[in-house]
């Protein structure tokens, strides 16, 4: 099937639910048609903040014919359970690792976007037996790398004041409206035509589920905790497997200049900027991503 045809709808594979530590987690699995592709190293996809496995609407079908592909909704996002606990990279990497242990059971290509890249990086550093190839589609720096000392403490204090249900709930009710979500996505995407009804819907539906507002409150509280994530440079310095880092040169969410700081921590990282692409280049220029990914995987195999 041509990409232009596939992008007209969302192909999500075989969706299932898995219970992790008592919480419901949605994931999907795609098995290639050919026996040769079925025997290749599987790929595990980790979505970004506020997204879900449906983030990969332009990628799942194509990648799923090249090798087995798994994608899951992180706890608190998508159609996974809206848990009432403090969340962070440590919790989500544990979720990804135990999913790998129970469902996959063999080394994978781990691919994450934005927050998902941080989760993938943390899981790889914690559990080197899990990952043989790591692909990072942008990578956020830990707040410890951006601010420190009294400025960091002040920022956490101010954020903590706003992390109350009295303030967050009315803001959440506004932010989950389709028109609000559409405007936010148009600001993030370089190509506004890709912000179609399907994209808006996949970001809107999870916010309507029971406990979504409460989970947002916990997410905001979690972000103020010192242990939300380890220092990115420290994590990437510990990893010896091949790493590919990709970044849109017009990313409005995570500054492309951060890539230089990451590369200083591990000069063996293969880095390629995606010219004139934004934060969601996996959805806007999937053919370019496919070509880069395929060439890199062949080069490091």
Could you tell me the end-to-end alpha-carbon distance of the chain, in angstroms, rounded to an integer? 27
pLDDT, average across residues 291-297: 97
279 found inside a domain: yes
Rounded Cα distance, 110 and 74, in Å: 14
185 found inside a domain: no
Quote the pLDDT of residue 163.
56
pLDDT, average across residues 64-81: 96
194 found inside a domain: no
What is the rounded average pLDDT for all residues in the chain? 88
Rounded Cα distance, 29 and 44, in Å: 9
Q: Count up the domains in the chain and report the number.
A: 1
174 found inside a domain: no
Torsion, CA 184, CA 257, CA 141, CA 100, rounded to 10: 80
Tokens standing for residue 193: 């035509």
The closest of 281, 204, 197, 280 to 10, measured between CA atoms, is 197
Residues 6+ apart with CB under 8 A from 49: 77, 114, 115
How would residue 160 be classed by pLDDT, with cut points 50, 70 and 90?
A: low
What is the pTM for the complete model shown? 0.90
Q: What's the CATH number where 242 sits?
A: 3.40.50.1820
- Measured in degrees and rounded to the nearest 5, phi and psi for residue 240 equal -110, -10
206 found inside a domain: no
Bigger pLDDT: 206 vs 145? 206
Q: Is the pLDDT of residue 173 over 90?
A: no
89 found inside a domain: yes
Is residue 13 left, alpha or beta, with left meaning phi > 0 and alpha meaning psi from -120 to 50?
Answer: left
Quote the pLDDT of residue 184.
94
Winning range, highest mean pLDDT, from 149-153, 207-211, 289-293:
289-293
157 found inside a domain: no
17 found inside a domain: yes
Domain that holds residue 111: 3-147+227-300
Q: Is the pLDDT of residue 157 over 90?
A: no
Q: Is the pLDDT of residue 50 over 70?
A: yes
């Amino acid at each position: 099937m041509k990409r232009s045809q596939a992008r007209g709808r969302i192909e999500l594979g075989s969706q299932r639910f898995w219970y992790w530590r008592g919480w419901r987690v949605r994931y999907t699995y795609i098995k290639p048609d050919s026996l040769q592709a079925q025997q290749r190293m599987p790929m595990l996809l980790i979505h970004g903040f506020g997204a879900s496995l449906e983030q990969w609407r332009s990628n799942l079908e194509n990648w799923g014919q090249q090798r087995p592909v798994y994608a899951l909704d992180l706890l608190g996002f998508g159609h996974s359970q809206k848990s009432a606990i403090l969340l962070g990279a440590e919790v989500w990497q544990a979720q990804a690792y135990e999913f790998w242990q129970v469902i996959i059971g063999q080394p994978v290509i781990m691919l994450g976007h934005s927050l998902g890249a941080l989760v993938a990086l943390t899981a790889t550093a914690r559990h080197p037996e899990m990952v043989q190839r790591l692909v990072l589609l942008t990578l956020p720096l830990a707040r410890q790398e951006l601010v420190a000392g009294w400025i960091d403490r002040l920022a956490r204090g101010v954020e903590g004041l706003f992390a109350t249900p009295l303030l967050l709930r009315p803001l959440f009710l506004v932010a989950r409206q389709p028109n609000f979500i559409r405007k936010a996505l148009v600001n993030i995407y370089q190509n506004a035509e890709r912000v179609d009804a399907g994209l808006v819907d996949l970001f809107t539906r999870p916010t309507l589920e029971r406990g979504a507002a409460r989970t947002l409150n916990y997410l905001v509280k979690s972000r103020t905790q010192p242990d939300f994530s380890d220092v990115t440079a420290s994590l990437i310095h510990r990893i010896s497997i091949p790493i590919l880092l990709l970044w849109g040169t017009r990313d409005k969410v995570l500054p492309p200049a951060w890539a230089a700081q990451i590369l200083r921590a591990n000069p063996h990282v293969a880095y390629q900027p995606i010219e004139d692409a934004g934060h969601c280049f996996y959805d806007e220029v999937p053919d370019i991503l496919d070509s880069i990914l395929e060439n890199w995987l062949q080069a490091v195999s």
